[in-house]
Amino acid sequence: MSRGLAPIICLILSISPAQAQRPFITLASTTSTQNSGLFRHVLPKFTRATGIAVRVVAVGTGAAIRLARAGDADVLLVHHKESELAFVAAGHGSLRRSVMYNDFILVGPGSDPAEIRSILDVDHALSRIASAQAIFLSRGDQSGTHKRELELWADASTNPAVASGEWYRETGSGMGATLNVAAAMGGYTLTDRGSWLGFANKRGLVLLHEGDPRLRNEYGVVLVSRDRHPHVKAKAGQVFVDWILSEEGMDAIDEFEIDGTRLFHAIR
């Protein structure tokens, strides 16, 4: 067992006997779905419909996949398609299904020292940040957001690792913590829109870049394979997968809003 997974597994094992008697599944998912409030809106509807509770372990996509690969989750709901497909190809999960999407945005100080506010494409925006050597905060945690950020830097023909510790800083933290650091340092960062709208401590941070089609952020659901991990709750997990992909589940996703703004869009 990796050291990184040990605290998460200890948390799962600390569930009281009374709680353990209820039917439940363990869902390994992302901080963005948890912190945005989506699960607080959607999961009670699932439990009312099926009688199955859901215990969410909210970590970065990389950590969620490692948890599921160890057989310590029944269902995976994350947002890095290539990693999800690799998880299935390795025999740890059944067929991946697309569930929903939102988008990534670039936020930063209102003074916008890299002058990206009027830039239309994300490649150019990131190139401007690098050229200006403006502070950029990366999650640096192998989450779906971090992986997408690195892909976008590569598309911009920029390797920010050469400036690590200078203008490019890795927090090794989740989205909320990274936004807090960006706010404190007056830096730029890439975030999903849901986390941004749910983030209360914006201080001087503002939304500076959005709308490039490459910033689409798709989430997929995968049932952990019972063939590879015989102890997982495959039947209850399948009930969750079927429900989240049903009209009822999709409607629940589409209904979720913050201040009148829909955060996630179901893929029907």
Q: Is residue 256 assigned to a domain?
A: yes
Question: Phi/psi class of residue 113: alpha, beta or left (left: φ > 0; alpha: ψ in -120 to 50)?
Answer: alpha
Task: Report the C-alpha dihedral over residues 50, 56, 61, 66, rounded to 10 degrees.
Answer: -100
Are 69 and 117 within one domain?
A: no
Task: Find out whether 56 and 43 touch, Cβ atoms under 8 Å.
Answer: yes
Alpha helix stretches (DSSP H) within 156-221:
175-185, 193-197
Mean pLDDT, residues 251-265 taken together: 95
Do 116 and 210 belong together in one domain?
yes
Average pLDDT, integer, range 255-259: 94
Mean pLDDT for all residues in the chain: 93
pTM of the model: 0.86
Q: How far apart are CA 210 and CA 213, in angstroms?
A: 9
What percent of the chain clears pLDDT 70, i.e. is strictly above it?
92
In the chain, how many domains are there? 2
Asked if residue 1 is part of any domain, the answer here is no
pLDDT value of residue 35: 85
Quick one: 124 and 30 in the same domain?
A: no
Question: Are 257 and 174 in a shared domain?
Answer: no
Q: Are residues 75 and 128 in the same domain?
A: no
CATH of the domain at 17: 3.40.190.10
In whole angstroms, give the CA distance from residue 46 to residue 120: 40
Q: What is the pLDDT of residue 5?
A: 54
Classify 86 as helix, strand or coil.
helix
For 124-162, how does the pLDDT look when each residue is reduced to its tens digit (9 = 90+)?
999 999 999 999 999 999 999 999 999 999 999 999 999
In this prediction, residues 73-93 reach a mean pLDDT of 98
Whether residue 229 lies inside any domain: the answer is yes
Its domain, for residue 243, covers: 6-101+218-266
For residue 6, the model assigns a pLDDT of: 52
Q: Is the pLDDT reported for residue 17 higher than 60?
A: no
pLDDT band at 198 (very low <50, low <70, confident <90, very high): confident
**Cβ of 191: how many Cβ atoms within 10 Å?**
26
Choice among 9-23, 51-65, 82-96, 253-267 with the minimum mean pLDDT: 9-23
Task: Give yes or no: residues 54 and 97 share one domain.
Answer: yes
Given a cut of 50, whether residue 24 has pLDDT beyond it is yes
Residues 235 and 246 in one domain: yes
**pLDDT given at position 14:** 47
**Does 207 lie in the same domain as 125?**
yes
Residue 9 has pLDDT above 80, yes or no: no
Task: Specify the pairing of strand 205-209 against strand 188-192.
Answer: unpaired
CB 232 within 8 A of CB 224: yes
Looking at the structure, do residues 176 and 127 belong to the same domain, yes or no? Answer: yes
User: What pLDDT band is residue 2 in, cutting at 50, 70 and 90?
Assistant: very low
139 and 161 fall within a common domain = yes
User: Is position 113 within any domain?
Assistant: yes
